Amino acid sequence: MSEVDIRTERLKKLEILKKAGMDAYPAKSEHDTSIAEFLAGFEKLEKKEGELTIAGRIMARRGQGGIIFADVHDGTGRAQVVLQADSGADIRLFDQTTDIGDFVQFTGIAFKTRRGEMSLKVSRWKMLAKSLLPIPDQWYGLKDEELVLRQRYLDILLNEDTRTMFERRAKFWQIIRDFYLKRGFLEVESPVLENTPGGADARPFITHHNALDIDVYLRISLELWHKRLLVAGFPKVFEIGRVFRNEGQSREHLQDFTFLESYEAYSDVRKGMEFVKELYRYIAKEVYGKYTFEIGEHTVDLAEEWLLIDFSKVIREEFDVDPISASEGDLMHAASAAGAEAHALANKERAVDYLWKKARKNISGPAFLVGVPVYLEPLAKRSKDNPETVERLQVILAGTEMGKGFSELNDPQDQRARFEEQQKLRDEGDEEAQRLDLDYIRAMEYGMPPAFGFGVSERLFAFLENKPAHVVQLFPLLRPKQ
């Protein structure tokens, strides 16, 4: 039977319910016991012999005539209900009008069937929401990934692995929140709409604010707001929030995603390394109960010693060019020879970034990337050992970057000079270069303490799950269906 025919039949059943005086979509339910509670407390409920009411979606039906069995799922568990002709329930109306997919309320007593299955003997039932479309019976193993993503609600309903993954995702962010709160960090919320987007090398989304009649940007980072809070006197802040970057899509990149950023005054990149290792190990233990993960072709053990990898050394060994001392022409030539396309050849910053991203693929980690050139990080302090580099760490797991932190630049004059260099790149056509943010520099001029800042996105969760980024989002953005 086609979907259209099934829908037509179910609409007829709606009419039967109406004629019987039953609302198919009531506002009120008498539900008083979850299925999880019903199953956990079954022995006591059976002895008590008192009535209780459960509710959920019918997932299976068996029998007809004088006895009908149905499996009901409410999100906490799955239980069997039994309707018998002599139990008081209107079994005939139930048989005529209910289908798999309907939300139904059942009132009755706990009892065990002859086979010993914990069940509810139904005395009354009530339709809560009549389904008009059938739940697919061939969903498992569905190969059309786009359909799975478009109808994620069915994927979660019918695929236990998907359901538990999103439960882990919720736990992942809660564990991170707990980690920071236990260490005295203040959770904050920063603006999503900005006059000047900053804090990352990324192209922003632009929208129009009708009330103020100005164009504004969706934030690409949380960083500059948080560092204003350091100026304001908060010593430890963090935020878990959505950021938006109008860039390409890939296994690792999405345009809107959840991001963590944190800032701790009077800390630095060396203390930060220990902090980050502790954070990642805490996530691994509390969410997954293990430290070792298979990610793509890499095996990563977060409990082992984290390596220190020097940025310039990797580039020199892989491409025979030094990212600090080489000329822009030499760097562009090296990137071109390595296969870079036009975007990556816009300037030396993009060329060197391309070289690094190509070289990192063979690094399993866990490791910290250090020694990054100043021109690639306009918001980090210069290194005392080598002023051409910054005090930055980047977490490397399974061949990619999985978090970044640094000793925050708090010299307003140095910051202005670096912003001006970034602005030149923008003026020359680099849409991902950062902007000259005079308001932020003014805040810095009131004095900002030394600090360690760190950020990591939901990409970490995707990698620990060994899945593409869009698969671990509940409802990833897709083109409208034609």
Evaluate whether the domain defined by 3-129 bears CATH number 3.20.20.80.
Answer: no
Would you state the pLDDT for residue 191? 96
DSSP secondary structure letters along 144-185:
-HHHHHHTHHHHHHH-HHHHHHHHHHHHHHHHHHHHHHHTTP
Q: Are 39 and 118 in contact (CB under 8 A)?
A: yes
Q: Running DSSP on this structure, what letter comes out for residue 321?
A: -
284-313 per-residue burial string, b: 16 or more CB within 10 A, e: under 16: beebbeeeebebeebebebeeebeebebbe
Residue that is written with structure tokens 């056509």 in the block: 429
SS3 label, residue 466:
coil
User: What pLDDT is stored for residue 183 in this prediction?
Assistant: 98
Give CA–CA dist 243/208, Å, rounded.
18
Question: In whole angstroms, what is the distance from residue 38 CA to residue 87 CA?
Answer: 20
The radius of gyration of the chain's CA atoms, rounded to the nearest angstrom, is 29
Nearest to 190 by CA among 434, 440, 431: 440
Structure tokens at 141: 């193993």
Cα–Cα distance for residue pair 175/284, rounded to 1 Å: 10
141 Rama sector, left if φ>0, alpha if ψ -120 to 50, beta otherwise: left
Average confidence (pLDDT) per 10 residues, the chain, 482 residues: 93 97 96 97 92 96 89 96 89 95 96 94 97 83 79 91 96 98 98 91 93 96 96 98 90 91 97 97 98 95 96 94 93 91 84 92 94 92 93 95 95 92 87 87 96 97 95 92 76
- Report yes or no: 88 and 123 within 8 Å, Cβ to Cβ: yes
Q: CA 85 → CA 148, 191, 265, distances in Å?
A: 40, 61, 71
The predicted structure's pLDDT at residue 141: 61
Contact 226, 185 (CB under 8 A): no
What homologous superfamily is domain 156-306+365-472 in, according to CATH? Bira Bifunctional Protein; Domain 2 (3.30.930.10)
Confidence at residue 252, expressed as pLDDT on a 0 to 100 scale:
83
pTM (two decimals)? 0.90
* Every domain of the chain and the residues it spans: 3-129, 156-306+365-472
Q: How far is CA 21 from the centre of its chain?
A: 45
| pLDDT given at position 289 | 97
Are 54 and 31 spatial neighbours (Cβ–Cβ below 8 Å)? yes
At residue 174, the pLDDT reads: 98
Q: Residue 189 CB: number of other CB atoms within 10 A? A: 10
Cα dihedral 129, 133, 139, 144 in deg (nearest 10): -130
Amino acid identity for residue 348 in this structure: K
Rounded CA separation 101/85 (Å): 23
Which pair of tokens denotes residue 287? 């969410």
pLDDT at 324: 94
Residue 139 pLDDT: 66
